[in-house]
Amino acid sequence: MPEPTTATGGLLAAIAGTGRDAVRGGYSRPVFSTAERDLVSWYEAELTARGLEPEIDRNGIVWAWWNPAGLPLEGAVVTGSHLDSVPGGGAFDGPLGLASALRALDLLRGRGVEPARPLGLAVFPEEEGSRFGVACLGSRLLTGAVTAERALNLTDPDGNTFADVARRAGLDPAGFGRDEEALARIGTFVELHVEQGRGLVDLDAPVAVASSILGHGRWRFSVHGQGNHAGTTLLDDRRDPLLAASRVVVAVREVAAANPGARATVGRLQPVPGGTNVIASRVDLWLDVRHPDDAVTAAVVAEISRRAVELAAGEGCTVQVREESLSPTVDFDPALARRLGATLGGVPALATGAGHDAGVLAAHVPTAMLFTRNPTGVSHSPEEFCTDDDAEAGSVALADVLADLLR
């Protein structure tokens, strides 16, 4: 890896070796894994080195405050992101926002800014939902968008409950749930994130302000058939759920294509028991659907569910559909977005199809996002990228925005 040429790039270079995935490429940093906890320790050390005192709240969110005047924390300006990743993800989704927050703090101090409100830096756990299935779990717990009871009973692919894994990470499961006190401290929230599309590449600009997040949700389809022997079971005698699931995957694409603007994906499919010489007894597949109009999202899922039942029946199988999460389309606070745009001299405004903790918080407090250019346009993949120069431009933009909001 070439030497980083900027402070933001230098911060990220320090964690470039953490959580690498030799099989998938890129990084696998699931929440509460050794890799993700190592990143949290790195971040806490960076905060401590800046004289801040990191603390983990009862929902597992890391907080630190720059509050030189010792003001009450209620109504503070908060910036933050996440350190967990999807399996085989990129280096920037999450960590860029946190490295930029540190860099922006350094820049604000270097400029001699005296904040009239405290600045909070926050790290949210399980943003990707890649371990327990519910995206933005930390911010959803904070806001009460998911109940503690539901969260604690979620299981990871190895069957561990969120409660057990959180306990092993030193958290008390009894403390999880909506946190009025923590919410009251967030007066304004700003999240910087690597762009997860080609918007800024096409506009030839390093930084954008977010306008909206597409509504999105996840559904688990469990297709039940008859597990049996691959050699002794005649084709006519089979009730093969993997065959049914494959037809469902094709139907997902067809239904999405018939609804302009819809994005529907099956990126994960799990045959049970999963043996080469075994006809599966069950297949779980996960459907991800996104559309700016929540009614269209609902209609797409309903149509896919209807076709799944039909296609499964054609193979002698049955289907259960369970919603795992659903987030309506979020339009970020227009006045705040305009204020950010004006501060940054009229940078572009971009909508995104990716979910973020900022989208969850937007239902409760004025919230904004900044995007930093990703030259590949690819995300949730090792090819996700951000040049050192653009990372630094993002940090400077974040510092400019925070300086304005902290006045």
**Which residue numbers belong to the known binding site?**
82, 93, 128, 193, 218, 277, 290, 380
Residue 289, helix vs strand vs coil: strand
What's at 238, amino acid-wise?
Answer: R
Query: Could you tell me which of 401, 332, 393 has the C-alpha nearest to residue 360?
Result: 332
Q: Toward Zn ion, which CB reaches closer, 370 or 403?
A: 370
Task: Quote the CA–CA distance of 248 and 316 in Å, as a whole number.
Answer: 14
Residue by residue, DSSP assigns 180-208 as HHHHHHEEEEEEEEE-SSSHHHHHT-SEE
Task: Quote the CA–CA distance of 260 and 258 in Å, as a whole number.
Answer: 6
Task: Quote the CA–CA distance of 320 and 353 in Å, as a whole number.
Answer: 27
Binding to Zn ion (CB under 5 A) within 245-284 occurs at none
Number of residue whose CB is nearest Zn ion: 93
> Which secondary-structure segment (H or E) carries 224?
strand 215-224
Shortest CB 94 distance to Zn ion, Å: 5
Q: What would the two tokens of residue 163 be? A: 């409660």
Task: Quote the CA–CA distance of 399 and 165 in Å, as a whole number.
Answer: 36
Q: Toward Zn ion, which CB reaches closer, 43 or 221?
A: 43
Candidate segments 86-94, 102-110, 169-177, 388-396, binder of Zn ion by CB under 5 A = 86-94
Q: Toward Zn ion, which CB reaches closer, 251 or 350?
A: 350
CA angle 235, 236, 241 (to 5 degrees): 70
Q: Could you check whether the bond before residue 273 is cis, i.e. omega within 30 degrees of 0?
A: yes
Query: Could you tell me which of 188, 182, 104 has the C-alpha nearest to residue 138?
Result: 182
Shortest CB 98 distance to Zn ion, Å: 10
Candidate segments 87-95, 221-229, 246-254, 335-343, binder of Zn ion by CB under 5 A = 87-95
Q: Is 384 in the site for Zn ion (CB under 5 A)?
A: no
Task: Quote the CA–CA distance of 212 and 401 in Å, as a whole number.
Answer: 18
Question: Considering CB under 5 A, how many residues would be counted as binding Zn ion?
Answer: 2
Q: Is 93 in the site for Zn ion (CB under 5 A)?
A: yes
Q: Toward Zn ion, which CB reaches closer, 133 or 241?
A: 133
Q: Toward Zn ion, which CB reaches closer, 94 or 241?
A: 94
Q: Toward Zn ion, which CB reaches closer, 94 or 115?
A: 94
Q: Is 89 in the site for Zn ion (CB under 5 A)?
A: no
Q: Toward Zn ion, which CB reaches closer, 285 or 398?
A: 398
Shortest CB 233 distance to Zn ion, Å: 44
CB atoms within 10 A of CB 152: 19
Shortest CB 84 distance to Zn ion, Å: 9
Candidate segments 7-15, 93-101, 332-340, 395-403, binder of Zn ion by CB under 5 A = 93-101
Task: Quote the CA–CA distance of 64 and 119 in Å, as a whole number.
Answer: 8
Shortest CB 244 distance to Zn ion, Å: 33
Shortest CB 93 distance to Zn ion, Å: 4
The percent helix, strand, coil of the chain (3-state, each to 5) is 35, 25, 40
Task: Quote the CA–CA distance of 106 and 110 in Å, as a whole number.
Answer: 6
Task: Quote the CA–CA distance of 326 and 289 in Å, as a whole number.
Answer: 9
Quick one: angle between helices 95-110 and 34-49, nearest 10?
0
Q: Toward Zn ion, which CB reaches closer, 82 or 239?
A: 82
Shortest CB 121 distance to Zn ion, Å: 16
Shortest CB 267 distance to Zn ion, Å: 16
**The binder of Zn ion chosen from 94, 115, 206, 271 (CB under 5 A):** 94
Candidate segments 90-98, 218-226, 272-280, 377-385, binder of Zn ion by CB under 5 A = 90-98
Bind-site residues for Zn(2+): 82, 93, 128, 193, 380
Interface residues with Zn ion (CB under 5 A) are 93-94
